[in-house]
Amino acid sequence: MSAQAWTYLIVALSFALYLYIAYRSRAGSTKEFYVSGGGVKPIHNGMATAADWMSAASFMGMAGIISFQGRDGGVYLMGWTGGYVLLALLLAPYLRKFGKFTVPDFVGDRYYSQTARIVAVLCAIMVSFTYVAGQMRGVGIVFSRFLEVDINTGVIIGTGIVFVYAVLGGMKGITYTQVAQYCVLIFAYMVPAIFIAIMLTGNPIPQLGLGAATKEGGTYVLDLLDTLSTDLGFHAYTQGVKPVVDVAAITCALMVGTAGLPHVIVRFYTVPNVSGARMSAFWALLFIAILYTTAPAVAAFARTNLLNTVDNATYSEMPAWFTTWEETGLLTFDDKNGDGKIQYYNDKNTDPAFQTEVAAKGWAGNELTIDRDIIVLANPEIAQLPNWVIGLVAAGCLAAALSTAAGLLLVISTAFAHDLVKRCIKPDISEKGELMWARVAAGAAVVVAAYFGINPPGFVAQVVAFAFGLAAASFFPAILMGIFQKKMNREGAISGMIVGIIFTAVYISYFKFIVPEKNNPEHWLFGISPEGIGTIGMLINFAVAQIVARFTPEPPAEVQEEVEHIRVPRQLAR
């Protein structure tokens, strides 16, 4: 069968499975809608958490960025992996012990303030919408290539699927759907990685193949990539060019942003007890590590095969995958010198020796533009793997994108229905009414998510990085101080959250939308990019909160006692 036929078949079967699971496990109460009834087994919750965590940014965006940026792209790998460890060890058990459904619930009760709850709701919605935009873009890219529709139509199709099982099933439906989605996405990620590792190096383990020699020529993969990259005027693949301060800021923002993401934190309420939360964290980290340790190998293999395929080849010689990706607009060829050959090189490299070589070859500017988000999807085609593998990768990417999108939409709906309507506007609302508002909010959120998917502010991993920065600047300090600083009061927490998220959002908007031409190290504050500015926002949040707390009343005694109880059992605290 053709690649498109295999894609239709595998995607249809996987979607049918997701919808069946969502229907069979649909929520019948608010507790099932919000936290799946609190009875999910740790290993199942670990798989669901991994699927929730490994979004389109992990599946296709991270390897794409590493493939293009080389060592610099590793900040995403370090930040997201370290962030989950931070969340699992530092926050998750304590939040689970507090016993609230959502992050705004924790913030509102810990800081004894409806204002704090409303601020947290607004922060959760802002973070979640930014994050979900990246997922919807990923869905659109998959459908645009494999179902031969434009990206906008692809986003609408994916949005409809998410609407059905997120709105119908709530957390209960999403949890068991995500268990299936994890199985699909990890199988889809590992199969082509193993295939290509064997083809390139003869080693079936991708992680080891990355450090092995190629079967043809005996050159080590990373040495070959360095040579291919420098010959085309790019910096060596294993050489970083990002400023150290920006690398540190991005890594920190991603780490602490992870610990503040509401759709991940709520996962630890779906297990029966605190020990279950700890075991869920263990299983999730194990399942996440399978993909994350493979991503650098996938990135390196894809770049090697891509450069070997297109470097100075003629357009007429290009395989079928090149033309099909051209039709999506995510890969473009502009024959600037009219010689029919594809010149792919760094035309911004002003080194005299390189420019002399460019002139000698008759090159007239880079002729190939590649959207980095297609690297993982195109990888099996570039390596000429069987058509069923191509369809499997498409299904895996959809599983990754849709699983996270569903979790984010649930956060938005619960933030609105539970934290705003139930806790602030209409406390006497019935459970049935609250469930109705949660589903209405999820439906409205789906529509907004579709818009952001059609008009995203950047590449998938970049957009997700912005969400992490916003979470780092708003939630992380409030949660951390709420657990470990019993004298942090509502005035300090509220002030810190507001100032932190406003500063970060304004900085990102300024460089990404208002004056994108200035988005370079010369104009960045302290040399920190919009992807890493959440670190500064977090520090501002901490500073403002501490200053305000020193000049305002302490929290009530019962709140301070509750904070002690979160960290230490009552009998030991006494």
CATH number at residue 556: 1.20.1730.10
pLDDT of residue 229: 87
Q: Which of 325, 349, 377 is the C-terminal boundary of a domain?
A: 377
Q: Which of 377, 402, 435 is the C-terminal boundary of a domain?
A: 377
Q: Tell me how crowded residue 104 is: count the other CB atoms within 10 A of its CB.
A: 30
CB 186 within 8 A of CB 290: yes
Structure tokens at 231: 């010959």
160 shares its domain with 266: yes
18 shares its domain with 119: yes
Q: Is 320 exposed, middle or buried (0-12, 13-18, 19+ CB in 10 A)?
A: exposed
Give the count of domains, the chain. Answer: 2
357 shares its domain with 239: no
Mean pLDDT per block of 10 residues along the chain (574 residues) reads 81 79 58 49 79 74 84 83 77 72 78 86 79 73 71 77 62 68 86 90 89 84 88 86 88 82 67 71 84 90 86 81 81 84 85 86 84 83 86 82 71 72 74 74 76 66 74 88 89 94 90 82 87 92 95 90 72 40
177 shares its domain with 322: no
pLDDT of residue 146: 66
365 shares its domain with 436: no
363 shares its domain with 485: no
- State which residues form the domain around 280: 3-303+378-573
Q: Is 193 exposed, middle or buried (0-12, 13-18, 19+ CB in 10 A)?
A: buried
3-state secondary structure of 220: strand
pLDDT of residue 23: 67
pLDDT of residue 88: 73
329 shares its domain with 349: yes
pLDDT of residue 263: 66
Q: How far apart are CA 518 and CA 533, in angstroms?
A: 15
Q: How far apart are CA 412 and CA 446, in angstroms?
A: 10
pLDDT of residue 273: 67
Q: Which of 325, 354, 377 is the C-terminal boundary of a domain?
A: 377
519 shares its domain with 494: yes
92 shares its domain with 201: yes
Q: Tell me: the pLDDT tens digits for 58-113? A: 787 788 888 888 888 888 888 877 877 787 777 777 777 776 656 777 888 888 88
553 shares its domain with 498: yes
Q: Tell me: the pLDDT tens digits for 473-499? A: 988 899 889 888 888 999 999 999 999
474 shares its domain with 539: yes
pLDDT of residue 34: 47
384 shares its domain with 334: no
pTM for the whole thing?
Answer: 0.78
Q: How far apart are CA 231 and CA 224, in angstroms?
A: 11
Q: How far apart are CA 104 and CA 548, in angstroms?
A: 21
Q: How far apart are CA 486 and CA 565, in angstroms?
A: 10
Query: Can you tell me which residue has the tokens 């990404």?
Result: 512
